Homo-oligomer: A and B are copies of this chain.
Amino acid sequence: MAHTARATITQVARAAGVSLSTVSRVMNGNPTVDAALAERVRTVAAELGYSANPLARSLVLGRTQTVAVVIPDLGNPTFQSILRGLSRAAADEGFHVLIADSAEQVAEEATLATATRRRTDGVILCAPRMSADDLAALLPGLSPVVVINRPPQADAPTVAADYRTGMAQLVAHLYGHGHRRVAFLSGVAGSASGAARRRALDEARAAHGDLEIVEIASGVDFDSGADAVDEVLAADVTAVLAFNDLVAMGLLSAVADRGIRVPEQLSIAGFDDIPFARYTSPPLTTAAVPAVELGREAWEAMSALLAGTDAVPSVVRGPALIVRGSTGPRPV
């Protein structure tokens, strides 16, 4: 039955011959109401198809049962997985999720976060692109807030994958296969996870005097991987570490077009282990970022914050090295 105009608490009260407060108490399961009366109110409420207006409740209670998620790009598979994990975890606790896609417009991030925060109980910043200073300045006004994939923060718990360790595993894997000259497709400039990757590379170079790593600028998507093919081939390397799986796949496809065989002539590794990584040919060696879990854990941190937990711990998840067919021994 469709109710053109929804019933209000006043109408229910009148229909049941009681006061507003009684209806409110009954609807909120307050046990200090006479059983028979409560039953009558429930019946009337059911007949009228009544349930409390969430907006009015939000205004008076000061909570909306909603959190906002600010994402740099809804088209990025890793963020999609994070969002999915987060959304389902939140839904399990009866929370709604408001999404805000900044479409990689760094300047929009703070605006979106601040704006969405006002209609929600908290905001989750997913891999914000803004500078460390901007982030630090923004956080206090957003509380409660949790941040995904940035270094630990003073004013917010953090949930992140350990990109440094993941990259270290990838390099070790390649080095173990005899590769000594490797290209790194470095992705977007300000990325925090990019800095972590680079740190791992520096450490590897320090540990192995005979390891050369050539950094080649790139973007973070398919096309930038494909576009980098000439530079990669010119760099005379035997293996390449792509910024992420998307870049790796773009490169894979471009080198295939040139008749170069992977991994016989060139090894290529990605990062993230997006759902499609196993379906390329050859399947992609990568470091698996547990995106869905990251999303779930971000919700859990938010949930703890909302519950008033004083010190919510930050969490770091180590990516797992996934060796598939796109990497192999250095060509002789």
Give A contacts to B, CB under 8 Å.
1-3, 6, 51, 53-56, 58-59, 64, 66, 74-75, 80-81, 83-84, 87-88, 91, 96-101, 103, 116, 118-119, 140-141, 222, 249-250, 252-253, 256, 275-276, 278-281
Q: A87-B99, A91-B101, A100-B91 are in contact. Are A118 and B53 (CB under 8 A)?
A: yes
Apart from A2-B141, A98-B99: 20 A-B pairs, beta carbons within 8 A: A1-B141, A55-B64, A55-B119, A59-B59, A66-B98, A74-B80, A75-B81, A87-B99, A87-B101, A88-B101, A96-B100, A96-B116, A97-B99, A222-B275, A222-B279, A252-B279, A253-B278, A253-B281, A276-B279, A280-B280
A1 CA to B141 CA in the complex, in Å? 7
Contact yes or no, B279 A66, CB < 8 A = no
Q: Which residues of B contact A53 (CB under 8 A)?
A: 118
B66→A75 contact, CB < 8 A: no
A275 neighbours in B (Cβ, 8 Å): 75, 222
CB distance from A239 to the nearest CB of B (A): 20
Residues of B contacting A140 with CB < 8 Å?
2
On chain B, the residues within 8 Å of A250 by CB distance are 279
Residues of B within 8 A of A56 (CB): 59
Closest 8 CB pairs of A and B: A2-B141, A2-B140, A281-B281, A74-B84, A276-B276, A54-B119, A55-B59, A249-B279
Number of copies: 2
Q: Which of B99, B249, B252 contacts A99 (CB 8 A)?
A: B99
Can you report 19 A-B residue pairs in the complex whose CB atoms are below 8 A from each other?
Answer: A3-B141, A53-B118, A55-B118, A55-B119, A56-B59, A64-B119, A66-B98, A66-B119, A74-B80, A74-B84, A75-B80, A87-B99, A88-B101, A96-B98, A98-B99, A222-B279, A249-B276, A252-B279, A281-B281
Tell me which residues across on chain B come within 8 A of A279, comparing CB atoms: 222, 249-250, 252-253, 276, 280
Contact residues in B for A98 (Cβ distance below 8 Å) = 66, 96-99
**Cβ of A249: which chain B residues have Cβ within 8 Å of it?**
276, 279
In the complex, A99 Cα to B84 Cα: how many Å? 10
Interface centre among A56, A141, A276, A280 (most CB of B within 10 A): A276
* B101, A119: Cβ atoms closer than 8 Å: no
